[in-house]
């Protein structure tokens, strides 16, 4: 149904252009004929107008049908150009012949019956008519193919945009599929330690993990969540980690209420907090502090997670960081930035800057 509607729209537009274009051209010729005629005959002018319109539409419509039938509108320029040149020559010649016949018959029946033979009349006028016909047909044929070329480019741009969106969604879904197992395997490892050391707290940890699993499943199809939603997940995760590290893990948050409604990719803060604990706090006997700070700077949102510890010398980031970096690039088309830097006094700072949504 959509294709039929598009075709109907094009046919309607096509006939409007045909009728308006050839009517204006024929009207101008009719006006010129009246202005240059000694005996002004509106009947003759009307006959010329109808004849010129009919000939122009007949020739160009025939070319349109031939072009569409053989798919000329889909050819590249090298293949199309010879066909255009040949077609303009043929159309111009047919225009010359048909207009010459029309002019001769009108003169013979309505102006001067002793006009002479058609051969003599044709010899006197063929060059002017041929040049006029080639010029008109060249303009029409070029306009016809330029329109189709523009439509083709628009169609290709729409298809490419759709493919790009589908590819982006597929990549995001694949990354989410990688992220959830990675997150839960780490959480299960934490619970494993608690089962041995403190079974009662292990039961609480399992409850927390159930809540985290429920939240994750609800987010499966979401590409962005509010900061408030993300922090609910982070708080549950931190409570789970506190059961394991107890006093060795200290938390500090500086998050103003006005940023809570802004949207970010899911698991973005949680991934950095998890990374801070795994590679920072857990490697230090005395533990340390994880600080979360979120602020709006102009049109960007800055998320900073600082933790006690030292930056690893490894040049290959872990799965969580690689995943987060790819998701940020995809989600914000390269407008988001991520940095992981060493700070003074054995601190590591992870910073995300994203457009404020």
Q: Tell me the torsion sign for CA atoms 178, 179, 180, 181.
A: positive
Number of H helices, E strands in the chain: 8, 7
Q: What pLDDT does residue 308 have?
A: 93
DSSP state of 108: I
CA–CA dist 308, 34 (Å, integer) = 95
Q: What pLDDT does residue 56 have?
A: 92
In this structure, the number of other CB atoms found within 10 A of the CB of residue 337 comes to: 15
Q: What pLDDT does residue 133 have?
A: 92
Q: What pLDDT does residue 350 have?
A: 94
CA–CA dist 320, 218 (Å, integer) = 20
Rounded (5°) CA angle 203-206-212:
150
Diameter over CA atoms, the chain: 122
- pLDDT tens digits, the chain, 357 residues: what are they? 444 444 455 557 888 888 999 999 989 988 887 777 666 678 888 888 999 999 999 999 999 999 989 888 888 888 889 999 999 999 999 999 999 999 899 888 877 766 788 888 899 889 999 999 999 999 999 999 888 888 888 877 877 776 566 555 545 554 554 445 655 676 677 677 778 777 777 788 788 778 777 766 665 556 788 999 899 889 888 888 887 788 999 999 999 999 999 999 888 898 899 889 888 998 898 999 999 999 999 899 999 999 999 887 765 667 778 878 888 887 887 889 999 999 988 899 999 999 987
Burial class from Cβ neighbours inside 10 Å (0-12, 13-18, 19+) for residue 33 reads middle
309 sits in the region (left: phi over 0; alpha: psi -120 to 50; else beta) called left
Q: What pLDDT does residue 88 have?
A: 93
CA–CA dist 225, 266 (Å, integer) = 6
In this structure, the number of other CB atoms found within 10 A of the CB of residue 281 comes to: 21
Q: What pLDDT does residue 314 have?
A: 66
- Residue found by looking up tokens 């931190």 in the block: 238
356 sits in the region (left: phi over 0; alpha: psi -120 to 50; else beta) called beta
Reading the block at residue 263, the tokens are: 């949207």
Phi/psi at 307 (5° precision):
-140, 155
347-355 and 337-343 beta bridge pairing: antiparallel
């Amino acid at each position: 149904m959509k294709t039929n509607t598009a075709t109907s729209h094009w046919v309607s537009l096509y006939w409007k252009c045909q009728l308006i274009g050839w009517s204006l051209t024929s009207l101008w010729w009719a006006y010129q004929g009246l202005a240059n005629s000694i005996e002004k005959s509106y009947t003759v002018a009307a006959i010329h107008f109808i004849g010129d319109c009919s000939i122009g539409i007949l020739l160009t419509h025939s070319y349109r049908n031939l072009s569409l039938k053989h798919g000329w509108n889909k050819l590249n320029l090298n293949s199309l150009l010879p066909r255009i040149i040949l077609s303009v020559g043929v159309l111009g010649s047919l225009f010359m012949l048909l207009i010459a016949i029309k002019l001769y018959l009108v003169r013979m029946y309505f102006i001067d019956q002793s006009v002479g033979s058609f051969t003599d009349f044709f010899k006197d006028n063929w060059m002017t008519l041929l040049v006029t016909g080639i010029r008109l047909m060249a303009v029409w044929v070029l306009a016809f193919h330029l329109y189709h070329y523009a439509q083709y480019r628009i169609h290709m741009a729409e298809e490419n945009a759709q493919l790009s969106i589908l590819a982006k969604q597929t990549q995001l879904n694949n990354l989410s599929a990688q992220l959830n197992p990675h997150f839960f395997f780490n959480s299960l490892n934490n619970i494993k330690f608690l089962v041995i050391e403190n079974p009662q707290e292990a039961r609480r940890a399992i409850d927390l993990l159930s809540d985290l699993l429920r939240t994750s499943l609800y987010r499966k199809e979401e590409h962005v969540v509010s900061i408030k939603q993300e922090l609910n997940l982070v708080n549950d995760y931190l409570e789970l980690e506190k059961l394991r590290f107890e006093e060795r893990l200290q938390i500090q948050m500086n998050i103003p209420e006005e940023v809570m409604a802004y949207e970010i990719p899911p698991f973005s803060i949680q991934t950095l907090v998890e990374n801070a604990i795994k590679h920072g706090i857990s490697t230090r006997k005395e533990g340390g502090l994880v600080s979360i700070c979120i602020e709006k700077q102009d049109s960007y949102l800055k998320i900073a997670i600082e933790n006690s510890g030292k930056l690893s010398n490894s040049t290959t980031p872990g799965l969580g960081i690689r995943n987060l970096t790819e998701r940020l690039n995809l989600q914000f088309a390269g407008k988001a930035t991520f940095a992981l830097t060493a700070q003074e006094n054995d601190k590591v700072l992870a910073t995300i800057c994203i457009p404020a949504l």
